[in-house]
Structure 1
Amino acid sequence: MLKIMNDFPNPTRYDNMTYRRCGNSGLKLPLLSLGLWHNFGDTNTLERMNAICQTAFDHGITHFDLANNYGPPAGAAEKNFGIILKTTFAGHRDELIISTKAGFDMWPGPYGDCGSRKYLLASLDQSLQRLGLDYVDIFYHHRPDPNTPLEETMGALAQAVQSGKALYVGLSNYSGAEMERAAAILKELRCPFIINQNRYSILDRNAEENAILEASEALQKGVIVYSPLAQGLLTDRYLHGNIPADSRIRTDGRFLTENQLTPAHIASLQALQQIAQDRGQSLAQMALSWILRQPSVASVLVGASKPEQLLDSLKIMNSTPFTEEELQKIDQISKNF
């Protein structure tokens, strides 16, 4: 049996968290949501995962974001979180927002990837089984699939809602133009599409370049951001060019590589750190606050390998607004990265 903290959950857990409406829907998300992309596979201990989840919920983080392929191995994050749902979170399901996705390679053969109706609906059934749930709150298509008619993919999302296995649907990694086409189909199907999940950070302006922020605001859809700290670059871990043994550069290497830590890049990170210090924040806290200044952003996904990291991120509540001078400095530094 997992150990549950004394006096869990905290009776004042909602007092200090801000919740933003997701687009023009009725759903509100906490400013910070917990992403289970990293640190919730079988390479971690269930006790540590449980401590992270308890700390999150104790401080008003109600949204837990998964995907079918999160691990390692694929499916492990859903399985592990399912255990926490049955134990620590027993009796609290209606206070939680749980999301999952399908769209990347999940099982062998021609039906375990992309955007077909067969894959998406089968994957959702498998996710619900691993989670031990009857429904998820948000079901996403994880990435665009140019080889499947968009009408088929959106029809599968609509069917997920009609069957009662999802309350809302979302799109992940779609550009603004792709999302607009999908939204038109989902509107015709009367499907509650409310949210876009995209990569975005001070050092990665993908969500600006592909117009997803602009399109989401125009269509009144919410945005939730992942990789807000640029895989750890926007923390104090690499400010002096050192690479810790437990860094993703050492343990993974797919999303962050040693050749990104050039002397010029380290100098840019140090310049950003100075701006953060002048604001009374850490670099990571400033990076989160910078994203949340966008009106279309409902929430930012943060990962954590230990509870202390979450507690540090939570210090951004009621942070000082950015001045125009600060924003201009940040933009100039990011252009040189």
Structure 2
Amino acid sequence: MQINDKSGYKKYYAAEDRYEQVPFKRCGHSGIQLPMISLGLWHNFGHADDLLKAQNILRTAFDLGVVHFDLANNYGPPFGAAETNFGRLFNEDFLPYRDELFISSKAGYDMWPGPYGNLGSRKYLISSLDQSLKRMNLDYVDLFYHHRPDPDTPLEETMGALDHIVRSGKALYVGISNYPADLAEKAIKILNELGTPCLIHQARYSMFDRWVEDGLLDVLDQYGVGCIAFSPLEQGMLTNKYVHGIPEDSRAAKGMTYLQREAVEQKLEAIKALHQVASDRGQSLSEMAIAWLLKDQRLTSVLVGVSTPDQLKANVNGLTNLEFSADELQAIRKVLEA
């Protein structure tokens, strides 16, 4: 919701019905509930992007009740840019609503030169979060993740750093991301022993990438840890964009990072078949792909990245039909296992 003042600036006032749009779901055994759709700032919030468009996306999200904004230290480009831009927009629009927002960031991938700007040491994690808080103009984040496992740093050191971060007041909760099932279980046990339980695991999960089903979801369920899925649309493959082939203006046609033409070509028949199932359900393929993930009670939320407010609205629309018949599930299973 926007209101013009005398200078022409459109001051933001949040929609009064913002909690009537997106359902919330409890995160594991914690006291936290998250919207079933969360907004990721991985793309479209860097210095090369349109800041006004980014502002409109954030405003639309909050008006819909999507109160969880997910960042990381190296989102951009360049590294840190998404957090810097978010900090500007937070001060401009969302400062009055800070206690309604659930803001997360991460560290674990390459961020600055030298041995202290990567992976999982105590020095890197604490320093990185300090930098993130400055960029975002925040006193604390609601959730801080270790972004990926570190094969060399002792897990006790990494988890100990997360525990320290919570006890220092720089984060309210901590989580892990991209951890395989066995390592996730070890990390969760260490955090439990330290008295700072793991809130959530962020994992890549979609119809075309189901590795979390091989034990990870069972581990998280056993220990009462939530799960949030990123890349639920497989970089756009699970949308209507590729139903009739590869458009010349698409990410796959341009060979952009994370989505190559060959990968889409290998999935074209599956995309078409899944699109037909979605159409029969009265949904777009992207709506069904999100609903298919959220049908699993072990999933807390689905993390989406969008380039327009309308894309976000379409993703939210997928929450209107989360029920699947046995025949629909069988049809989907047949496609995915082909």
Give the TM interval when normalised to the shorter protein. Answer: over 0.9
Residue type of the alignment partner of 1:152: E
Task: Determine the structure 1 residue equivalent to 2:72.
Answer: 67
Q: Is the 8 Å Cα contact of residues 39 and 305 (structure 1) preserved in structure 2?
A: yes
Task: Determine the structure 1 residue equivalent to 2:257.
Answer: 254
2: distance between equivalents of 1:236 and 1:116? Answer: 42
Task: Determine the structure 2 residue equivalent to 1:333.
Answer: 335
Residues 58 and 170 (structure 1), Cα distance of their counterparts in 2 relative to 1, 3 Å cut: same
Task: Determine the structure 2 residue equivalent to 1:271.
Answer: 273
Residues 227 and 277 (structure 1), Cα distance of their counterparts in 2 relative to 1, 3 Å cut: same
Residue type of the alignment partner of 1:235: T
Structure 1 segments (4+ residues) deviating >3 Å: 1-6
Q: Is the 8 Å Cα contact of residues 37 and 303 (structure 1) preserved in structure 2?
A: yes
Match status 1:204 vs 2:206: no
1: distance between equivalents of 2:145 and 2:10? Answer: 31
1: distance between equivalents of 2:8 and 2:212? Answer: 39
2: distance between equivalents of 1:127 and 1:79? Answer: 8
Residue type of the alignment partner of 2:258: F
Task: Determine the structure 2 residue equivalent to 1:145.
Answer: 150
Residues 78 and 50 (structure 1), Cα distance of their counterparts in 2 relative to 1, 3 Å cut: same
Residue type of the alignment partner of 1:163: S
Match status 1:218 vs 2:218: no
Task: Determine the structure 1 residue equivalent to 2:232.
Answer: 228
Residues 171 and 45 (structure 1), Cα distance of their counterparts in 2 relative to 1, 3 Å cut: same
Match status 1:23 vs 2:25: no
Residue type of the alignment partner of 1:10: A
Residues 86 and 312 (structure 1), Cα distance of their counterparts in 2 relative to 1, 3 Å cut: same
Task: Pick from 33, 38, 42 the counterpart of residue 38 of structure 2.
Answer: 33
- The 5 A counterparts of 1:277-296 are 277-296=279-298
Q: Is the 8 Å Cα contact of residues 70 and 78 (structure 1) preserved in structure 2?
A: yes
Q: Match of 2:25, SS?
A: strand
2: distance between equivalents of 1:2 and 1:165? Answer: 37
- The 5 A counterparts of 1:296-307 are 296-307=298-309
**How many angstroms does 1:253 deviate by?**
2.6
**How many angstroms does 1:317 deviate by?**
2.6
Residues 111 and 93 (structure 1), Cα distance of their counterparts in 2 relative to 1, 3 Å cut: same
Residues 246 and 237 (structure 1), Cα distance of their counterparts in 2 relative to 1, 3 Å cut: same
Q: Is the 8 Å Cα contact of residues 16 and 317 (structure 1) preserved in structure 2?
A: no
Task: Pick from 78, 81, 90 the counterpart of residue 83 of structure 2.
Answer: 78
Q: Normalising to structure 2: TM-score of the pair?
A: 0.95
Q: Report % sequence identity.
A: 50
Match status 1:189 vs 2:191: no
Task: Pick from 134, 137, 140 the counterpart of residue 139 of structure 2.
Answer: 134
**How many angstroms does 1:100 deviate by?**
0.2
Q: Is the 8 Å Cα contact of residues 294 and 322 (structure 2) preserved in structure 1?
A: no
**How many angstroms does 1:5 deviate by?**
6.2
Deviations 1:121-178 (A, max 9, x none): 0000000000000100000000000100000000000010010000000000011211
**How many angstroms does 1:241 deviate by?**
1.6
Q: Is the 8 Å Cα contact of residues 36 and 66 (structure 1) preserved in structure 2?
A: yes
1: distance between equivalents of 2:130 and 2:209? Answer: 34
Residue type of the alignment partner of 2:202: Q
Q: Match of 1:92, SS?
A: helix
Q: Normalising to structure 1: TM-score of the pair?
A: 0.95
Residue type of the alignment partner of 2:95: A
Residues 108 and 172 (structure 1), Cα distance of their counterparts in 2 relative to 1, 3 Å cut: same
Q: What 5-or-longer segments of structure 2 have no aligned partner?
A: 1-6
Residues paired across the two proteins, number? 332
Q: What 5-or-longer segments of structure 1 have no aligned partner?
A: none
Residue type of the alignment partner of 1:300: V
Deviations 1:292-325 (A, max 9, x none): 0111111000111010101111112331511122
Task: Determine the structure 1 residue equivalent to 2:246.
Answer: 242
Q: Is the 8 Å Cα contact of residues 21 and 29 (structure 1) preserved in structure 2?
A: yes
What is the Cα-based RMSD across aligned positions, in Å?
1.5
Match status 1:115 vs 2:123: no
2: distance between equivalents of 1:296 and 1:249? Answer: 35
Task: Determine the structure 2 residue equivalent to 1:88.
Answer: 93
Match status 1:313 vs 2:315: yes
**How many angstroms does 1:45 deviate by?**
1.1
Residue type of the alignment partner of 2:235: Q
Residues 173 and 320 (structure 1), Cα distance of their counterparts in 2 relative to 1, 3 Å cut: closer
1: distance between equivalents of 2:75 and 2:268? Answer: 30
Q: Match of 2:241, SS?
A: coil
Task: Determine the structure 1 residue equivalent to 2:4.
Answer: none
1: distance between equivalents of 2:8 and 2:133? Answer: 21
Task: Pick from 151, 156, 159 the counterpart of residue 154 of structure 1.
Answer: 159
Residues 191 and 171 (structure 1), Cα distance of their counterparts in 2 relative to 1, 3 Å cut: same
